[in-house]
A and B are shown apart, each in its own frame.
Chain A
Amino acid sequence: MTSTLKTIRGKAENLLAGGLADGVLCLGRDRFNVVQPRLFHKAEEVGSLEIEPKWNLAKLAMQTLRSAEKSFRLTVVCRGCDERALLELVKRNQIDASRMTTLSYTCGREQAEACLCPRPYPENPAAGEKIEGVDPFGDPRFASLLAGDDQERMARWTGLLSRCLKCYGCRNACPICVCTPCKLEDDLWVERSAVPAEMIPYHLIRAFHLSDTCVACGACQDACPVGIPLLALQLVMRRSLREKYGYEAGLEADRKSPLLMDFEHASPAGFALPAWTVSSEAPHER
């Protein structure tokens, strides 16, 4: 048993025994030796609590809180990415922050490299040591997805996305994709019978909807049964917001997405119109 797991089990036990939480949401090993998400109610059950493999629980936490009584206080055992996803859900009024606490732990080197995670740790970890992250844009696997001119990229992404089975796994696994009704189920936007899913409406609408909320947890990519590197599109959007507005989803609780605000409140000083917009700053006609 790793020391991280030991610490987490100890703290979860204390929380439940001391009555500080009514439930702890985490992975648990059941009597068939299968690890799956579980809601712990009693301190004595905590011996079967697990933290591996990576499994994002933010959406489950939201659903648990929705279906529970108003007085129910939940503690979520989570990784850095999960904690950021929870923060985004709180920002979007999907979770009442006063009813939820987190028990967060850091990821190991191996996990960070598998996820290409630049920040494999939560803000204030309850267990584990913070390690340095991986820069996804320096990774050859990632760079090869975005290399080349339009022609090559189009051929590559058309190929990758044509594998899609349209299982909606990417949407369902995403901790932040919570709208009802969903545009991806609406014939006006996405032809429902089309398989593989049409690239532009299905995949690009999905990617764009998450542009300012995605915390790059990689749940979409992990869920994809045909291995489409969906995270690459999200990382591009995240980089775009970081470079232009210094905004990163999941970090600042009191900052709204810059895509919802004007330039004066969310732009570096002296921001000019991007060169690619066309505007008539020319002298007006008389």
Chain B
Amino acid sequence: MNVQGIVDKTTRGTPRVLVFACRWCALVGADAVGRGRADLPASFRVIPVECAAMVEPDSVLRALASGADGVAVMGCHLGGCRFNDANHVALKRMEALGDLLDAVGIGRRRLLLSFGTAHEGRQFAEVLGAFFRELEPLPSLAAWRKTLLNQPSFR
């Protein structure tokens, strides 16, 4: 799976968001809400994954480095995971990752973790809409870092 390609080539508009959706719950919900013609932001792309726990924090970081302004990881409710406790693990990892993102100033606001079931398509739309509203006032991550790196004091 080439995250770079997906972010660069297919996502138009800003902010750009990459969604990792578990194929048992979140993805089914996302499909349903798409079929239902819900009002969704345009600039996100979904990567189906087997389970939210297989999204390594590395993938989130890779996506942020490849031009995504925000990354959403979506899985089943705690207790409703097809793989027993796997989404507990996803939650803990992402929470630890959030602390790291906070420390360097990227901010955990750019990382969304959400749990829902397959029939909660409307929730997918709401959660993603709220995420976009939160990201819109923030600067584009790639452009921001470029400006910082080009400052004379850093050269």
Contact = CB atoms under 8 A, between A and B. Distances in A.
Given A162-B149, A263-B78, A280-B123, 7 more contacts: A146-B103, A154-B105, A155-B148, A159-B154, A189-B62, A236-B100, A244-B95
Contacts of A260: 89
A285 B117 CA distance: 11
Interface residues of B, number: 48
B104 interface: yes
A207 interface: yes
Contact of A262 (B89, B96, B103): B89
Q: Tell me if B's interface is mostly helix, strand, loop or mixed.
A: helix
Contact of B115 (A205, A277, A282, A285): A277
21 contacts: A152-B105, A154-B105, A154-B144, A157-B103, A157-B104, A200-B61, A204-B100, A205-B61, A237-B100, A259-B92, A259-B93, A262-B85, A263-B88, A263-B92, A264-B85, A276-B108, A277-B91, A277-B114, A277-B115, A284-B119, A284-B120
Contacts of A285: 119-120, 122
Given A189-B58, A258-B92, A285-B122, A151 B105 contact: yes
Interface string B66-107: 000000000001100000110011011101111111111111
A156 B89 contact: no
Contacts of B148: 154-155, 158-159
B112 A278 contact: yes
What is the interface residue range for chain A against chain B? 35 or more
B113 A277 contact: yes
A163 to B, nearest CB: 9
A233 B100 CA distance: 7
Contacts of B92: 258-259, 263
A279 interface: yes
Interface of B: 2, 57-58, 61-62, 64-65, 77-78, 84-85, 88-89, 91-93, 95-108, 112-116, 119-120, 122-123, 127, 130-131, 144-145, 148-149, 153-154
B149 A233 contact: no
Contact of B96 (A149, A241, A280): A241
Contacts of A236: 99-100, 103
A152 B107 CA distance: 12
Nearest to B77: A279
A177 interface: no
A278 B102 CA distance: 18
A92 interface: no
Given A153-B105, A232-B103, A278-B127, A208 B119 contact: no
B95 A274 contact: yes
Q: Which of B100, B104, B114 has the most CB of A within 10 A?
A: B104
